[in-house]
Amino acid sequence: MLQGTRDVRANVSLAAVLDEARQRFADANPNSLARQNEAAASLPGGNTRAVLWYRPFPVSFVSGEGCRVTDLDGHTYVDLVSEYSAGFYGHSDKAISAALVDVIQGGIMLGAPNRYEARLAAAVVDRFPAIERVRFCNSGTEANIMAISAARAITQRSKILAFREGYHGGVLTFAHGGSPLNLPFPFVFADYNDSAGAVAVIKEQGDELAAVIVEPMMGGGGCIPATREFLEALRAVTKETGALLIFDEVMTSRLDYRALHGAHGIFPDFVTLGKYIGGGASFGAFGGRADLVDRFDPALPGAFSHGGTFNNNILSMAAGFTGLTQVLTQEASRAINARGDRLREAMNVSLERHGVEGIVIGRGSLMNLHFVRGPVDTPARLDDADPSVIALWHIEMLLRGYYVTARPRERQLMFVSIRA
C-alpha cells in the first residue's frame, strides 16, 4: 500500500486506507482489545507508558524469546523495538536468566552492598574510556537529572544548554518546544549539528552556563548522527568557557563496544547510561572524570548526597554484569552493529527500488525510517513528513508480523537485538 507514496496520496484517500487498516488490525486482535478496555478502567488511556500507546489500541504481549514476541491473540512478531534498547540482549537470554535465578534464590532485597555492584562498576569503567568513576541509579532519565544537577552544583552555575528536538527522558524532552512536565531547569537551546550556532550560544551564556547535554546520535529525535565537527566544537568551547560537557549515551552506548565517545575519541566530562546495561532490569548510571564523580564520595567532607533504594538492587546488578561481560563481548558488539548497517543499507535500496519517498538513517543497530527526501542531518528536515503515512506503515507492519514503534510525529525507530 505504501509503494509510490506520492501516487497513493494522489489517487486514494489516505485517511480511508488508514481506517481500513486499523479495522483489520482490530478484527485480528480481540484479546488485546479486551485487555485495553479492562485496563482503561484503572489506567488513564489503559496504559502507564505513553510511548506504548497507538491507535486503535496496542497489542499486549505474553512472552518473548530471542528476537520474537507473542501477543495475547497468538500472533508472533519479529521485535524491532527491543524495549527501546533495554531489550538489546534479546528476550530470555540464558546467561542473564541464570544469573537472575541465582540471585533471586539468595534474596532479592538485601539492603546493603552486594557481590555484584562493584563488579558491574568495574566492567563499566573498563569498557567506557570517559568513565573513570560511576554511580548507579534507576533509569536513563534519572541519570541525566543527576548529571545535570551535579554539573550545576560543581560549577555553581545555573543554565543548561540542550538541543531542539532532543530527548533525555520523560521530564527532559524538547520536541515541539518541550513538555509542560519538564523539570524547571533554566535551559537554553541550540540546533543539533549546527556547530557555529551552538558555539555562539555557549559563548554568549558565558559563566552562567553550567553544562551542555547532547546525544552523540539523536535517539528519539530521529537517529540523526552528530558530525565529528559538531562534537569536537562542543568539546573545545566547553573547555574554553568552563561549562561541563555531558554525553547522553543511554541509547548510543550500544553503537560501539566503547560507546560513541570512545569510537570518536571525544571525551566528555560526564557520560550517562541506561537501558540495556541493566540486562533487562531497571537501570541508570552517570559517570565521568574521577575528580567530578568523587564529589559523591560520602567519606569526603562536603560530599553530595545521592540516595536511591534501588540504586544497587541485586537484580539489575547481576543482570547488568552478566550482560556486559558474557553477552555483549567486543566480537558481539562488532557483529550486531555490522548487521544493523547492512539492514539499513538494504532498506534504503528497497525504498529506492519501489519508488517510496523515504530514507533510513542511523548507525549500527539503531536506525530510523523517515518518509522524507534525504539527506537528513538536522531535525528540521523532518517537518515535511506526513504523519498519516507513518501511521499506515506502522499498522501494516504489525499486520505482517513486525513489531515496530509508533513514535509521535513521523519517526519510526528500529532496534536490532543481539539474539536471533
Residue 63 lies in a domain: yes
Residues 138 and 200 in one domain: yes
pLDDT of residue 418: 83
Total number of domains in the chain: 2
178 versus 162: which is more confidently predicted? Answer: 162
Residues 314 and 364 in one domain: no
> Measured between alpha carbons, how far is 167 from 144 in angstroms, rounded to an integer?
10
Residues 147 and 273 in one domain: yes
76-79: strand order across its sheet: 61-65, 68-71, 76-79, 402-403
Query: What phi-psi label fits residue 273: left (phi over 0), alpha (psi between -120 and 50 degrees) or beta?
Result: beta
pLDDT category of residue 1 using cuts at 50, 70 and 90: very low
Helices (H) and strands (E) in the chain, counts: 13, 14
pLDDT at 83 over 90: yes
Give me the mean pLDDT over the 16-29 stretch: 98
pLDDT of residue 411: 59
Residue 359's DSSP bridge partners are 370
Residues 198 and 347 in one domain: no
Q: What SS3 class is residue 79?
A: strand
Give me the mean pLDDT over the 403-410 stretch: 73
pLDDT of residue 417: 86
Digit-coded pLDDT (tens) for 238-259: 999 999 999 999 999 999 999 9
Residues 249 and 116 in one domain: yes
**pTM of the predicted protein model:** 0.95
Residue 89 lies in a domain: no
pLDDT of residue 10: 52
Q: What SS3 class is residue 169?
A: coil
CB 167 within 8 A of CB 173: yes
Digit-coded pLDDT (tens) for 124-145: 999 999 999 999 999 999 999 9
Digit-coded pLDDT (tens) for 113-124: 999 999 999 999
Tell me which of 327, 348, 381 is where a domain ends. Answer: 327
Residue 359 lies in a domain: yes
Residues 281 and 345 in one domain: no
Residue 87 lies in a domain: no
CB-side neighbour CA atoms (13 Å) of 104: 7
Print burial letters for 217-250: b (CB count within 10 Å at least 16), e (below 16).
bbbbbbbbbbeeebbebbbebbeebebbbbbbbb
Residue 372 lies in a domain: yes
pLDDT of residue 291: 99
pLDDT at 4 over 70: no
Residues 122 and 271 in one domain: yes
CATH of the domain at 13: 3.90.1150.10
Tell me which of 327, 358, 383 is where a domain ends. Answer: 327
If you average pLDDT over every residue of the chain, what do you get?
Answer: 95
Give me the mean pLDDT over the 10-14 stretch: 72
> Measured between alpha carbons, how far is 150 from 132 in angstroms, rounded to an integer?
16
Residues 65 and 99 in one domain: no
Give me the mean pLDDT over the 356-375 stretch: 95
pLDDT category of residue 374 using cuts at 50, 70 and 90: confident
> Cell triple for residue 211?
553544562
Residue with cell 564529589: 295
Residue 88 lies in a domain: no
CB 125 within 8 A of CB 258: no
Residue 84 lies in a domain: no
Residues 397 and 291 in one domain: no
For residue 53, what are the domain limits?
5-79+331-415
pLDDT category of residue 177 using cuts at 50, 70 and 90: confident
Digit-coded pLDDT (tens) for 197-220: 999 999 999 999 999 999 999 999
Digit-coded pLDDT (tens) for 64-73: 999 999 999 9
pLDDT of residue 333: 98
CB 230 within 8 A of CB 195: yes
CATH of the domain at 227: 3.40.640.10
Residues 309 and 356 in one domain: no
Digit-coded pLDDT (tens) for 143-161: 999 999 999 999 999 999 9
Digit-coded pLDDT (tens) for 282-339: 999 999 999 999 999 999 999 999 999 999 999 999 999 999 999 999 999 999 999 9
